[in-house]
Amino acid sequence: MQGRIIKSLAGFYYVEADGQVFQTRARGNFRKKGQTPYVGDFVDFSAEDNSEGYILKIHDRKNSLVRPPIVNIDQAVVIMSAKEPEFNANLLDRFLVLLEHKFIRPVIYISKLDLLDSIAEMEIIADQYRRIGYDFVLSQKELLPLLKDQVTVFMGQTGVGKSTLLNTIAPELALETGEISDSLGRGRHTTRAVSFYDVYDGKIADTPGFSSLDYEVKTIEDLSEDFPEIRKASHFCKFRSCSHTHEPGCGVKLALEKGDIWQSRYDNYLQFLSEIENRRETYTKTIKRK
């Protein structure tokens, strides 16, 4: 049979297939191959009855996240607050680059709009991101229909109101997340269930920390691939290896001049690019010293 792992707990994998859930285990041969089944995996499995089946094969994954380990994610809701903490386009672009890199569709959600005197400025920012092709939502009402038929994760820095949002749309998940942050015990992670939750005709999972985010962006090789509007404009660059910084005949610089690429996005592209270059230099120096 074929199905999808929707929950893992204490060595058991719960596989959803044909509207039923089967309790399965992974055979020892996965361990030998260094493979671990994760929540989100599409699998072949055997199940004589519902009590215990075996996973036979794990299908190729389109992407994966490490903490918690979940795979084959369709989209991520990036929660950014309008105020407290202040909206931060640089941080947002970091999230977007990382998600593009992992082939996870970003949905941008702005919280705490009620703290603003006027949302005029936020509307301008929203327009810029919508022009790139991103969903940029300013209310829960706009967000909910986007969850249908998708596997969604939620991410955002501390204080943006992630638990408030999850509390409303997935109380079960919010509870789980709260328990973890209250316990302070890192060891608890090992026994914690990883699970998808059914909400609004879709499935959601939480994504707590993104501490490695900075590092990941700093190591992304083809940065221009992860800025959709830069990727598009780069087809008109004279040189194939154009970095869109100083080269003549650059399609990206042209699009920037015409206002087709937003200055803020281009500035962040330049900043991430220099971070990658600095990292490479540090790395080369370390190698030479050895």
Nearest to 210 by CA among 105, 41, 82, 76: 76
Measured at the CA of 135, the angle between CA 133 and CA 138, to 5 degrees, comes to 140
Say whether the peptide bond before residue 37 is cis (omega within 30 degrees of 0).
Answer: no
Nearer to Zn ion, 160 or 237 (CB): 237
Q: How far is the CB of 247 from Zn ion (least distance, A)?
A: 6
Closest distance of CB 195 from Zn ion, Å:
44
CA distance 143 to 113: 15
Q: Which stretch binds Zn ion (CB under 5 A): 38-46, 147-155, 199-207, 239-247?
A: 239-247
One of 174, 244, 255, 262 touching Zn ion (CB under 5 A): 244
Q: Which stretch binds Zn ion (CB under 5 A): 60-68, 209-217, 233-241, 254-262?
A: 233-241
Phi-psi region of 88 (alpha: psi -120 to 50; beta: other; left: phi over 0): beta
Return the residue of 78, 173, 250, 261 that touches Zn ion, per CB under 5 A. Answer: 250
Q: Which of 108, 125, 205, 252 binds Zn ion (CB under 5 A)?
A: 252
Scanning 65-73, 115-123, 196-204, 234-242 for contacts with Zn ion by CB under 5 A, the matching segment is 234-242
Binding span for Zn ion by CB under 5 A among 138-146, 202-210, 211-219, 245-253: 245-253
Helices 89-101, 263-289: inter-axial angle, 10-degree rounding: 70
Residues present in the chain in total: 290
Nearer of residues 69 and 228 to Zn ion, judged by Cβ: 228
CB of 86 to Zn ion, least distance (A): 32
Interface stretch with Zn ion, choices 36-44, 63-71, 193-201, 247-255 (CB under 5 A): 247-255
Binds Zn ion (CB under 5 A): choice among 97, 108, 125, 237 = 237
* Tokens at 179, concatenated: 């328990």
CB of 102 to Zn ion, least distance (A): 24
Nearest Cα residue to 204 out of 182, 185, 180, 176: 176
Minimal distance in Å, beta carbon 228 to Zn ion?
15
Give the interface with Zn ion as residue ranges (CB under 5 A).
237, 242, 244, 250, 252
